[in-house]
Structure 1
């Protein structure tokens, strides 16, 4: 019989899931006494839970300060996605090499869970399930270290999306996951890697969308405002001198 989870394990799992599902947003304070009281354990054990989460990159711990949900900088976010892309490629290649028929059924069942969460409008659950798809692949790779490292990176990506991301359709993740499964079934490692790269690139662009915003060009901005002002006040040239009204000539008066 499996040993029942300890209070520390329950608290760790609950907090980790709440952070990944973005129910606890980056910067949220995590007081030890409140966590301990909620799970019926001492502050010492609550601190141990927070230290585990800090080791996974989900919590910031600083001496003499209340712990809080981590807030990765944009520079850290870019580094995390660089590492994730490399790990995801390796996971895909290992899964193709060690593919078993039951892998396809398990992955497709997970995608159906993602689709069901989307249909129920459970966005937070959909976010968590989308990340867990990648952890299933890492587990199927048979490499425990890869699973450990990818698990940490995927979790950190949830924080990055909560901080910097923009809304998206969960249809994209479900469809892209299904395409990856098809390539894995076919044993096409090159296509599976290509699809994974595209998929992670889409997530990164959504997470770090500031890179997609075109930089303002001074000349274009000034031209736009100059046209608007000229249209509104046609009598005022851009040199700032108002045109003087010309007096009608005697001939004009006579006509």
Structure 2
């Protein structure tokens, strides 16, 4: 692929990824190549390459006779993704407690200000900025491999929350992000990791995961009690 086509493909990929993160494109939505190409003013080939990149990140699934659709993670996969995210972000916090780039705190504070600016105003942007805060933390470790994996897992968490979340609280996210930065600044790895784990636990807690499948007997028994009255 030529450099020009690669640049256009990346631009289409970035915009589709943004639409998924901001929950404009919902899990299960079809993404036909011709429709993507038409809406972005690009060829089907470029649209296909962009969709393949998203598929490689687990954000899109290619289904026989249906083409590409936004992924619909199962509950089991969702739990696995959050488990991996916790492990990766613990390492991020550990590395940053041991050394932060000179302008690292300035960048983090500026990002939190951006989050505060949309607090309670723009849900989709708030969701995207919340995820980008964690990606920025990973980038500041200056470990490119770790940053890439964190970016992928954070994005997949956004997709999971789009499918399962009961609510998104930008107020909680901003406050918790400030606590994380303060903890890292203190250099106390144990405290910083504990705060990060509680934060990620709160994020996961906003998802409506059922611990076991609904039992038709238990459901009907509740309505049966009304009949008996």
Task: Specify if TM > 0.5.
Answer: yes
Alignment of 1:160 onto 2:160: yes
Corresponding residue of 1:201? 201
For 1:6, what is the secondary structure of its paired residue? Answer: helix
Q: 1:85 to 1:32 in 2, by over 3 A?
A: same
How far did residue 185 of structure 1 move?
Answer: 1.0
Q: Distance in 2 between matches of 1:225 and 1:172?
A: 40
Distance 1:98 1:65, change over 3 A: same
Which residue is 2:55 aligned to?
A: 54
Which position in structure 1 is the counterpart of 2:99?
Answer: 98
- Name the counterpart of 1:236: none
Unmatched runs of 5 consecutive residues or more in structure 2: none
Residues 118-157 of structure 1: pairs in structure 2 closer than 5 A: 118-119=119-120, 121-157=121-157
Residues 63 and 69, structure 2, Cα contact 8 Å, conserved in 1: no
**Deviation string, structure 1 residues 235-254 (Cα, Å, up to 9, x no partner):** xxxxxxxxxxxxxxxxxxxx
Q: Which stretches in structure 1 are left out of the alignment for 5+ residues?
A: 233-255
104 and 62 in structure 1: CA distance in 2 versus 1, 3 angstrom threshold: same
Provide the residue aligned with 2:181 in structure 1.
181
- SS of equivalent residue, structure 2 residue 63: coil
Per-residue CA distance 1:45-87 (angstroms, 9 max, x = gap): 2110100011111111134432111100001001101100100
CA contact (8 A) 1:22 1:124 kept: yes
1:244 aligned residue: none
Is the aligned partner of 1:38 residue 2:47?
A: no
Corresponding position of 2:19:
18
Measure, in 1, the Cα distance between the counterparts of 2:8 and 2:100.
Answer: 37
Listed one character per residue, the Cα deviations across residues 142-184 of structure 1 (whole Å, up to 9, x for unaligned) are 2111111111110111111111111132111101100011111
Classify the secondary structure of the residue corresponding to 2:210: helix
User: Is the partner of 2:134 in helix, strand or coil?
Assistant: helix
Equivalent residue pairs, number: 223
Shift of 1:44: 1.5
C-alpha separation in 2, matches of 1:209 and 1:68: 22
The CA deviation string for residues 80-129 of structure 1, in whole angstroms up to 9 with x for no partner, is 0110010010010011112245211211111111111114x100000000
Distance 1:194 1:60 in 2: 35
**Residues 135 and 150, structure 1, Cα contact 8 Å, conserved in 2:** yes
Task: Please report the RMSD computed on the Cα atoms of aligned residues, expressed in angstroms.
Answer: 2.6
